Chains A and B, each alone.
Chain A
């Protein structure tokens, strides 16, 4: 009687999780440091845009306003779709199993 082991993570999932956790820890660590040092943590592009606008005495403005959680929802929807497209094509093109299938 052979007992089959439940495999929770394949190598692809493991790699994605490790990279994701490393990046997230970096983001959380940076955010924590900036928070305790009372840093604004604003966007560099935004700051330079402000500086450039002041230099020519104009106001810069985005095409659409995304107040509050609207920005998070816009990013979530767009990146949900982006994640699907990247994941789908990555597996189709770079997954070792699929490459073998193509060759075979």
Chain B
């Protein structure tokens, strides 16, 4: 009999648990992340700002173009932007090394909203992390954008495109993008720190590898996690809204037909 039982509103429950999950997953972080203020010399942080700006301008143009092409792009971009903000602030403990680090989220963002648009959302995410969370710095936004928003995003995007052009399954291409994008982000951050160190008893390459070995052992398990996450999320997105993902908007095919091919 309808009326004897009051149904739990599913949407409210779903929203409540989503929020609870995000809060629980992220709240314990308390350590500084990304490259902080005070480390890079002015000549380097200015250079990284200029390098990042070269990608931000086409990024803004890409956003403007795709917003006009697809009405769903704007809320999609907002969702992905906030996801990058949350994922790149998620400090996860890695027991094998006894330390914590974070995934990036930019390889997934590059695949779904485009690599140049990912640079724009990375700058915004890093800015808010710097001013509200003490993560990263203001002078180092250019450098952090270059490593996470440009290197991580573009390597992830190109590996995705390459593997898809070789007809590899979606999970493999997306997983490889997540894995490589994550590791290359830290390879780039180590490169930036090595450039900043004046020549001493170590060569530039050795210095680079010293910094990368600081990140690498903790980052490797997280890169695997990022690969799984990227593949899983992309699989769901392509199954439900192939029209939103570049390369999947195949006219004349139903969603189920596209799902069978991925």
Known contacts A75-B29, A82-B22: does B72 contact A93 (CB below 8 Å)? Answer: yes
Q: Which residues of A contact B236 (CB under 8 A)?
A: 94
Contact at B25–A10, with CB atoms within 8 Å? Answer: no
In the complex, which residues 86-137 of chain B have their Cβ closer than 8 Å to any Cβ of chain A? 86, 89, 91-95, 97-102, 128, 130-135, 137
In the complex, which residues 42-93 of chain A have their Cβ closer than 8 Å to any Cβ of chain B? 42-49, 51-53, 55-56, 58-66, 71-72, 74-76, 78-80, 82-93
Give the size range of B's interface with the partner. 35 or more
Contact at A30–B94, with CB atoms within 8 Å? Answer: yes
Cβ of B67 < 8 Å from any Cβ of A? no
Please report the C-alpha to C-alpha distance between residue A68 and residue B23 in the assembled complex, in whole angstroms.
17
| Closest Cβ neighbor of A47 among chain B residues | B214
Known contacts A43-B91, A46-B33, A82-B82: does B8 contact A63 (CB below 8 Å)? Answer: no
Contact at B214–A48, with CB atoms within 8 Å? Answer: yes
Q: Which of A10, A42, A84 contacts B99 (CB 8 A)?
A: A42
Q: Which residues of A contact B97 (CB under 8 A)?
A: 44
Cβ of B166 < 8 Å from any Cβ of A? no
Shortest Cβ distance from A85 into chain B, in angstroms?
A: 5
Query: Taking chain A's interface residues, is the majority helix, strand, or loop, or is none over half, making it mixed?
Result: helix
Please report the C-alpha to C-alpha distance between residue A58 and residue B247 in the assembled complex, in whole angstroms.
48
Shortest Cβ distance from A36 into chain B, in angstroms?
A: 10
| Closest Cβ neighbor of B138 among chain A residues | A63
| Closest Cβ neighbor of B18 among chain A residues | A87
| Closest Cβ neighbor of A81 among chain B residues | B82
Known contacts A41-B99, A47-B99, A89-B79: does B218 contact A75 (CB below 8 Å)? Answer: no
Please report the C-alpha to C-alpha distance between residue A71 and residue B83 in the assembled complex, in whole angstroms.
19
Q: Which residues of B contact A76 (CB under 8 A)?
A: 23, 27
Cβ of B54 < 8 Å from any Cβ of A? no
Please report the C-alpha to C-alpha distance between residue A31 and residue B197 in the assembled complex, in whole angstroms.
34
Query: Which one of B9-17, B58-66, B153-161 is at the interface?
Result: B9-17
Contact at A86–B82, with CB atoms within 8 Å? Answer: yes
Q: Which residues of B contact A39 (CB under 8 A)?
A: 95, 98-99
Please report the C-alpha to C-alpha distance between residue A27 and residue B24 in the assembled complex, in whole angstroms.
10
Contact at B19–A83, with CB atoms within 8 Å? Answer: yes
Shortest Cβ distance from A102 into chain B, in angstroms?
A: 9
Q: Which of A2, A47, A64, A90 contacts B132 (CB 8 A)?
A: A64
Cβ of B30 < 8 Å from any Cβ of A? yes
Contact at A61–B21, with CB atoms within 8 Å? Answer: no
Question: Residues 1-22 of chain A: 1 if any B CB is under 8 Å from the residue's CB, otherwise 0?
Answer: 1111111111011001101100
For this complex, 7 residue pairs linking A to B, each with C-beta atoms less than 8 Å apart, are A5-B5, A51-B210, A52-B193, A63-B37, A63-B131, A72-B30, A79-B26
In the complex, given contacts A44-B97, A62-B32, what are 14 additional A-B residue pairs having Cβ atoms less than 8 angstroms apart? A9-B13, A13-B10, A30-B95, A41-B98, A45-B33, A52-B193, A66-B133, A72-B30, A74-B132, A75-B23, A75-B26, A78-B89, A82-B85, A93-B241
In the complex, the 4 A-B pairs of residues with the closest C-beta atoms, listed nearest first: A39-B98, A43-B31, A62-B134, A20-B21
